[in-house]
Amino acid sequence: MKTLIKGGRVIDPANNIDAVMDVLAEDGKIAQVGENLSADGAEVVDAAGKIVTPGLIDMHVHLREPGQEAKEDFGSGSRAAAAGGYTTVATMPNTRPVIDDAALVKAMQKRAEESAVVHIEIIGAVTKGQKGEEMAELGDMTEAGAVAFSDDGHFTKSAKVLLNCYDYLRTFDKIIINHEEEPSLVEEGVMNESHRSAMLGMKGRPTVAEDIAVARDIMLAEYADARVHVAHISSGRAVDLVRQAKKRGVKVTAEATPQHMTMTDELVVLSDSSTKINPPLRSQSDVDAVLEGLKDGTIDMVVTDHSPHAQEEKDREYMYAPSGFPGLETALGIMLTDLVHQGKLDLVTLIERMTAAPARVFKLKAGSLAVGMPADIAVIDPDLEWVVDDKKFYTKGSHSPFIGRKLKGKAVMTFVDGKLVMKDGEILA
């Protein structure tokens, strides 16, 4: 099978390409990238006025399998990913049961092969049951194909346990993705600790809880000469801690979500729990610092922290509702609308942080349009205006704070291994 995508603005940061060119995919691989290409028998796609990039990569999603399929499953989650222009996502292990052994990693890989329309990477737990007490089967899970390890949703209280895990995984050159909040400072907190939380009478989660956790985990990784990745960074001081650690040569990387670069705690209202996330929406100064960190490379990548819940769970009082909302179908549109089109972020930088960077950090065979690479491609219309409508979501979660918003910019085609799986918002696979 051949597909020739003609006349689009090809942005491929991994190969320093930004030019109007053609891309030829053949037998699931990138066959050629160049000007005025032709291929006998190829299906021709006119991409004039569009952007052609490697398929987007999200290294932090919650697809809820196994055990919480009522919230999301690999089928619905992968379709949401394709609708958003993503071709590779990595699913977190805080499931039921927790993905903490090789058998579960292999089982989830098989499930992905059977039901997913995009590539799904499996993240294993750092500790057994994510309890922070005993190292999980890290070596066996690595051999089974786990892409990284995380106790996401849980802070590993024992520095000794985490240090042992760093030491062990250094042999395999694998990354621990840390959820950074000192639990004693955030107990029962439901939003950022600020003037806004005081006005609303809500218990807060202070930024210093994140700062302390980031500082500790960076120092432990530095001591062990191991790799550490800061999940969904949200505090300005935490960003600077990562920046300074990188200057010292620490093997630290970081990620940030669209919501932590575009939304503040001023948007929190008691009547709408869709803004309840963890870490919480922060102050404007934190938002500015996170965006600056993304721009200068302190923060390596954009993730969604896609976290769908059953509607009845979110339709509760703010303080009792679970944290998180689905983000795969809105992330690109939010970043383009609120940052790129506003002149706050360069388009090429955004594409790099959503393709080449996560592939490089996690050593994925993805994020590049080099000849011979998998033909995972997103075609993006940067000027397409659309309204976020939860009734059109492929995810099972419908509690997004962006519902009803008019956005500018959207993926209009997604190719996985050369196969067109999404066109104009419709999943074809």
Q: Specify the CATH number for 2-52+374-427; select among 3.40.50.300, 2.60.40.420, 2.30.40.10, 3.40.50.800.
A: 2.30.40.10
* Calpha distance 28→26 (Å, rounded): 5
Tens digits of residue pLDDT in 117-140: 999 999 999 999 999 999 999 999
- For the chain, how far is it from start to end, CA to CA, in angstroms? 16
Cα–Cα distance between 414 and 420 in angstroms, integer? 6
Task: Tell me whether residue 305 is one of the annotated catalytic residues.
Answer: yes
Active-site choice (305, 376, 381, 417): 305
* Residue 157: Cβ within 10 Å count: 13
- Tell me which residue has tokens 């940030």: 256
Calpha distance 368→356 (Å, rounded):
6
Those residues with Cβ within 8 angstroms of residue 248's Cβ, 6 or more apart along the chain or in another chain: 222
Residues 6+ apart with CB under 8 A from 83: 328, 329, 394, 411, 414, 422, 425, 427
pLDDT digit string (tens) for 177-204? 999 999 999 988 999 999 999 999 999 9
- Superfamily (CATH H level) for 88-362: Metal-dependent hydrolases (3.20.20.140)
Span 293-351, pLDDT tens digits: 999 999 999 999 999 999 999 999 999 999 999 999 999 999 999 999 999 999 999 99
Return the domain boundaries, the chain: 2-52+374-427, 88-362
d(CA 13, CA 57): 13
Ramachandran angles phi, psi of 198, nearest 5°: -65, -40
Q: How confident is the model at residue 153 (pLDDT cuts 50, 70, 90)?
A: confident
pTM of the complete model = 0.98
Strand (E) or helix (H) holding 357: helix 356-362
Residue 59 CA to residue 229 CA, distance in Å, equals: 11
